[in-house]
């Protein structure tokens, strides 16, 4: 069980972001925006909220983490490495032949990966299956499932939410990365989700909305979910796509590409993107010296 202080969590999220950029630069393909914007949520989950043991990934009493939005795998890999599930050097093998860090997570390939994911929405149902099984076995473990917001276009999500509401799966918490972007554009242009809170409430969820970059608020929301016994909980984490790198923030163009691969309007020359991104993250855009590691 790892419990960092709020200050330490802020730095841990920063380390995760730096890992993500370095991995993507090395891999030369992969997603940037989602992994960066979920770094604070992942830091809070793996370094404060969840019961887990990196030295014993199959520990029966662990909380389960299901990444339904498989394409943001870099943030999961970086977080698992930071937590000690596998050596950090291995992050550089992302997407390369023979790697355990596949483009999308593969259960069994790497310690700490509970499910395979990529085709969207599949994690929502699997998380339900896990929550059901844990409840049947009178386990106190909880299930956390991260989905994207564009992912909610998938019908399977709503089949799953209907089932979770019906069965009052209070040991299950969904966290939606509400970054407002998907591959083809802004979510409200591609397929509007709002009023999203109302949709979840109509499906019998306890809904909490948080600033997805406020680690304290994320922890509080996860604690609040533990106190709700009649409903599953969804935490809508309002995030800024590409958080931490100025030229990526809020831009859907960065959904599915790595830094350094192509010139994007409003961004630095592709040769400079990686260096600038790392420098901005390392120093929190000049706020700190970046010597905390």
91 or 160: CB nearest other proteins: 160
Q: Are the beta carbons of 143 and 222 closer than 8 angstroms?
A: no
- DSSP H or E segment with residue 95: none
CA 8-94-190 angle, to 5 degrees, is 85
65 or 252: CB nearest other proteins: 65
Under the binding rule (CB under 8 A), the answer on residue 202 touching other proteins is no
Which of 5, 7, 61, 133 is in the footprint of other proteins by CB under 8 A? 133
Which of 99, 156, 214, 283 is in the footprint of other proteins by CB under 8 A? 156
| Nearest distance in Å: CB 200, other proteins | 16
Q: Where does this chain touch other proteins (CB under 8 A) — which range of 82-90, 116-124, 184-192, 207-215?
A: 116-124
| Nearest distance in Å: CB 223, other proteins | 24
Under the binding rule (CB under 8 A), the answer on residue 147 touching other proteins is no
**Which class for 57: exposed (0-12), middle (13-18), buried (19 or more C-beta within 10 A)?**
middle
32 or 125: CB nearest other proteins: 125
For residues 293 and 158, give the distance between their C-alpha atoms in angstroms, rounded to a whole number. Answer: 42
Which of 162, 183, 202, 288 is in the footprint of other proteins by CB under 8 A? 162
Under the binding rule (CB under 8 A), the answer on residue 134 touching other proteins is yes
| Pairing status of strand 172-178 against strand 233-238 | parallel
Under the binding rule (CB under 8 A), the answer on residue 4 touching other proteins is no
Under the binding rule (CB under 8 A), the answer on residue 125 touching other proteins is yes
Under the binding rule (CB under 8 A), the answer on residue 171 touching other proteins is no
Q: What residues contact 209, with CB distance under 8 A and at least 6 apart?
A: 197, 235, 236, 238
Under the binding rule (CB under 8 A), the answer on residue 110 touching other proteins is no
Site for other proteins in 32-91 (CB under 8 A): 64, 66
Under the binding rule (CB under 8 A), the answer on residue 121 touching other proteins is yes
Torsion of CA 212, 213, 215, 220, to 10 degrees: -30
Kindly state the number of chain residues that form the binding site for other proteins, as judged by CB under 8 A.
33
64 or 213: CB nearest other proteins: 64
Which of 54, 118, 250, 256 is in the footprint of other proteins by CB under 8 A? 118
For residues 10 and 215, give the distance between their C-alpha atoms in angstroms, rounded to a whole number. Answer: 7
* Three-class SS state of 247: coil
Q: Are the beta carbons of 147 and 126 closer than 8 angstroms?
A: no
CB atoms within 10 A of CB 108: 9
Helices 6-27 and 73-83 cross at an angle (nearest 10°) of 120
Q: Where does this chain touch other proteins (CB under 8 A) — which range of 30-38, 158-166, 205-213, 266-274?
A: 158-166
For residues 163 and 32, give the distance between their C-alpha atoms in angstroms, rounded to a whole number. Answer: 32
| Nearest distance in Å: CB 137, other proteins | 8
Binding site for other proteins (CB under 8 A): 64, 66, 106-108, 114-119, 121-134, 136-137, 155-156, 159-160, 162-163
């Amino acid at each position: 069980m790892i419990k960092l202080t709020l200050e330490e969590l802020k730095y841990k999220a920063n380390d995760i972001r730096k890992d993500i950029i370095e991995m993507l630069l090395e891999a030369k393909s992969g997603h940037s925006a989602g992994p960066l914007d979920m770094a604070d949520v992942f830091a809070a989950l793996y370094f404060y909220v969840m019961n887990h043991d990196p030295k014993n990934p199959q520990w029966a009493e662990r909380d389960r983490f299901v990444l339904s939005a498989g394409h943001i795998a870099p943030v999961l890999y970086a977080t698992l490495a930071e937590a000690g599930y596998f050596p950090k050097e291995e992050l550089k093998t992302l997407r390369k032949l023979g790697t355990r860090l596949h483009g999308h997570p593969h259960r069994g390939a790497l310690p700490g990966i509970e499910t395979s994911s990529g085709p969207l929405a599949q994690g929502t149902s699997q998380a339900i299956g896990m929550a059901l099984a844990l409840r049947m076995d009178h386990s106190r473990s909880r299930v956390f499932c991260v989905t994207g917001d564009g992912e909610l276009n998938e019908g399977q999500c709503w089949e799953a939410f209907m089932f979770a509401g019906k069965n009052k799966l209070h040991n299950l918490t969904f966290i939606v990365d509400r970054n407002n972007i998907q591959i083809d554009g802004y979510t409200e242009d591609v397929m509007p989700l709002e009023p999203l809170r109302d949709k979840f409430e109509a499906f019998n969820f306890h809904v909490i909305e948080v600033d997805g970059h406020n680690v304290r608020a994320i922890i509080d929301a996860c604690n609040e979910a533990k106190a709700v016994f009649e409903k599953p909980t969804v935490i809508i984490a309002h995030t800024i796509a590409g958080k931490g790198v100025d030229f990526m923030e809020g831009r859907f163009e960065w959904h599915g590409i790595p830094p350094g691969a192509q010139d994007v309007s409003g961004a630095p020359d592709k040769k400079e993107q990686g260096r600038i991104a790392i420098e901005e993250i390392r120093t929190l855009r000049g706020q700190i010296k970046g010597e905390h590691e």
